[in-house]
């Protein structure tokens, strides 16, 4: 494990940023919206489609506290949405970043070597003006820079407010994105880490080599890039050699290339959150019982009773700033690609190094069932 690199300069156009939205391209946005509402407790807030003047696609904006997910599908067999879904299955297309000045962010990103996707564009409706620009990142994933200080609508032009929530669903109290992880190809982790340093001015928070992250059978490498405020964190994983197939390689095979592996979502009461999600039917990776035998010695005193965590399969890790609790869902679609992490931080900036082994043994069991280990 290593840490370091230059902190982001305070006047970089991407220094004071936050998550804006995450957009998934999916085969059937109407049904996907219902799944994320009924399983994860999101509310539908707005819609864009032919009825709102946006031809060829349907998009549903789902919200929960500071989380904003957009689910988009194509109404035609051609075009970038249909192509994306055919190749990747349901997956994350766009990680939208809230910026103060979208033009300055875009110019800095291009000067840093980013590939342009869409130059800065202003769009208007009765709620004001929004400025957007987009650049490419790993695989077919993009980042849209969103400047919304001149806009008071529900989301952005094209979207019409239409609130819908499911009264019978347990509300899990999901708060905001904590980090968003990308899986990239063999030997590509360092260059994508450099990308976030050059293009975003990010610094490396931590890195893990295959000795940190391996089991008897499988391995991966990871490094975490962050803005100076630790708001927006992008861990990057690549596969590493082991006796059997790395879970990252399995992802790359099914996703047909690099893409978002998981989105970590913050809660301030993980036990209540997991109880609500389980009652809504969400499946989590199982944690071997043996994990809890040494837990107290490894993490010291924590507020939660170990039995309560064991019963729910919640993992714990500690660093010198505090501790964190985490758990991972099973994949969110039939291809074993993107999944969620639920995380509660109690001071810690950790990414769960102490849990990698237990977690990967659990993932290997799932790989074995799929015949891809």
Q: Give the integer Cα–Cα distance in Å for 342 and 228.
A: 23
Tokens 């360092």 locate to 190
Span from 36-44, 66-74, 259-267, 283-291 in contact with Fe ion (CB under 5 A): 259-267
The answer to whether 145 and 105 are in contact (CB under 8 A) is yes
The answer to whether 172 and 124 are in contact (CB under 8 A) is no
Of 105 and 264, which CB lies nearer to Fe ion in the complex structure? 264
Span from 8-16, 21-29, 148-156, 334-342 in contact with Fe ion (CB under 5 A): 334-342
Least separation, in Å, of the C-beta of 360 and Fe ion? 13
> Does the protein bind Fe ion through residue 180 (CB under 5 A)?
no
Of 72 and 329, which CB lies nearer to Fe ion in the complex structure? 329
Tokens 């067999």 locate to 77
Span from 7-15, 130-138, 258-266, 364-372 in contact with Fe ion (CB under 5 A): 258-266
Least separation, in Å, of the C-beta of 244 and Fe ion? 22
Of 264 and 316, which CB lies nearer to Fe ion in the complex structure? 264
Binds Fe ion by CB under 5 A, chosen from 177, 184, 264, 338: 264
Span from 142-150, 163-171, 243-251, 340-348 in contact with Fe ion (CB under 5 A): 340-348
Span from 74-82, 110-118, 131-139, 337-345 in contact with Fe ion (CB under 5 A): 337-345
Nearest to 235 by CA among 198, 263, 267, 199: 263
Residues 182-221: x where in contact with Fe ion by CB under 5 A, - otherwise, as a string: ----------------------------------------
Least separation, in Å, of the C-beta of 107 and Fe ion? 31
Cβ neighbour number for residue 107 with a 10 Å cutoff: 15
Of 264 and 338, which CB lies nearer to Fe ion in the complex structure? 264
Least separation, in Å, of the C-beta of 315 and Fe ion? 11
Of 23 and 317, which CB lies nearer to Fe ion in the complex structure? 317
Binds Fe ion by CB under 5 A, chosen from 226, 341, 348, 364: 341
Residues that bind Fe ion (CB under 5 A): 264, 341
């Amino acid at each position: 494990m290593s840490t370091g690199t230059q902190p982001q300069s305070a006047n970089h156009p991407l220094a004071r940023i936050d998550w804006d939205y995450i957009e998934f391209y999916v085969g059937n946005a109407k049904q996907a919206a219902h799944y994320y509402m009924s399983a994860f407790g999101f509310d539908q807030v707005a819609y864009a489609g032919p009825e709102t003047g946006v031809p060829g696609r349907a998009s549903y904006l789902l919200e929960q506290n500071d989380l904003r997910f957009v689910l988009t599908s194509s109404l035609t067999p051609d075009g970038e949405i249909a192509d994306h879904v055919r190749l990747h299955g349901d997956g994350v297309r766009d990680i939208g970043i809230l910026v103060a000045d979208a033009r300055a962010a875009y110019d800095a990103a291009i000067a840093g070597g980013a590939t342009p996707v869409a130059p800065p564009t202003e769009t208007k409706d009765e709620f004001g003006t929004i400025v957007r620009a987009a650049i490419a990142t790993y695989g077919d994933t993009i980042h849209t820079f969103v400047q919304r200080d001149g806009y008071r609508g529900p989301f952005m032009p094209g979207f019409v407010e239409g609130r819908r929530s499911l009264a019978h669903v347990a509300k899990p109290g999901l708060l905001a994105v904590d980090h968003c992880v990308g899986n990239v190809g063999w030997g590509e982790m360092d260059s994508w880490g450099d990308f976030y340093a050059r293009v975003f001015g990010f610094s490396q928070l931590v890195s893990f080599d295959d000795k940190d992250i391996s089991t008897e059978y499988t391995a991966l490498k990871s490094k975490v890039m962050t803005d100076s405020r630790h708001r927006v964190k992008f861990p990057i994983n690549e596969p590493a050699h082991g006796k059997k197939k790395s879970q990252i390689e399995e992802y790359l095979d099914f996703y047909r290339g690099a893409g978002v592996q998981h989105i970590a979502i913050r809660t301030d009461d993980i036990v209540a959150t997991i109880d609500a999600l389980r009652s809504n039917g969400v499946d989590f990776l199982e944690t071997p019982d043996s994990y809890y035998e040494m837990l107290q010695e490894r993490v010291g005193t924590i507020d939660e009773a170990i039995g309560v965590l064991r019963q729910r399969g919640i993992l714990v890790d500690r660093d010198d700033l505090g501790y964190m609790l985490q758990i991972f869902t099973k994949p969110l679609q039939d291809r074993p690609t993107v999944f969620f992490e639920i995380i509660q931080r109690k001071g810690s900036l950790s990414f769960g190094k102490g849990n990698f082994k237990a977690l990967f043994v659990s993932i290997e069991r799932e790989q074995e069932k799929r015949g891809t280990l």
